[in-house]
Amino acid sequence: MTQPASQFPESSQATMVLVLGILSLVCLPILGPVAWVLGNQELRAIQDGRRDPANRSTANAGKILGIIGTALILIVVAVAVLAMFWVFIAGGEVSDTFDRLQP
C-alpha cells in the first residue's frame, strides 16, 4: 500500500526553523537571524498554500525565538561597543588615577 501524495507541493521547514531558533538562544546566537528569515519564508509559503498550515505555530515559534536571539546579539554588541567607548574615553583618567596610587 502506498502513502497518499501530500496536497502541498513543498515540504515544511517549520521544525528546522524551531531548532535554529532554540539553538540561537542556547549556544549559537548567530543562528537567530537565520531562524527569523527562514521563519518568515515558511509562514509566507504556508499563507500561499505551498506548505501545510498545521505547521504554522511551529514556524511562528521558531521565528519568534529567532527574533529574540537577534535582539540578544544586538544587545551584546551594543554593550561591547559602549564598554569599549567607555574605556577609550575614561581610559586616560583611570590610568592617571592608578599612576598616582603607585609609590
Is residue 84, in this structure, part of any structural domain at all?
A: no
Query: Greater confidence, 97 or 52?
Result: 52
User: 9 falls in which pLDDT band (50, 70, 90)?
Assistant: confident
Is residue 27, in this structure, part of any structural domain at all?
A: yes
Is residue 50, in this structure, part of any structural domain at all?
A: yes
Is residue 2, in this structure, part of any structural domain at all?
A: no
User: 47 falls in which pLDDT band (50, 70, 90)?
Assistant: very high
User: 54 is in which domain, residue-wise?
Assistant: 14-77
Is residue 97, in this structure, part of any structural domain at all?
A: no
Is residue 87, in this structure, part of any structural domain at all?
A: no
> Does the pLDDT of residue 102 top 80, yes or no?
no
Is residue 96, in this structure, part of any structural domain at all?
A: no
Report the distance separating Cα 101 and Cα 93, nearest Å: 13
Please report, as a single letter, which amino acid is at residue 71.
A
Give the model's pLDDT for residue 16. 96
Q: What is the DSSP letter of 54?
A: G
Query: Comparing 4-8, 13-17, 27-31, which segment has the lowest mean pLDDT?
Result: 4-8
Instruction: Report how many domains make up the chain.
Output: 1
Is residue 45, in this structure, part of any structural domain at all?
A: yes
Report the distance separating Cα 42 and Cα 36, nearest Å: 10
Query: Greater confidence, 7 or 58?
Result: 58
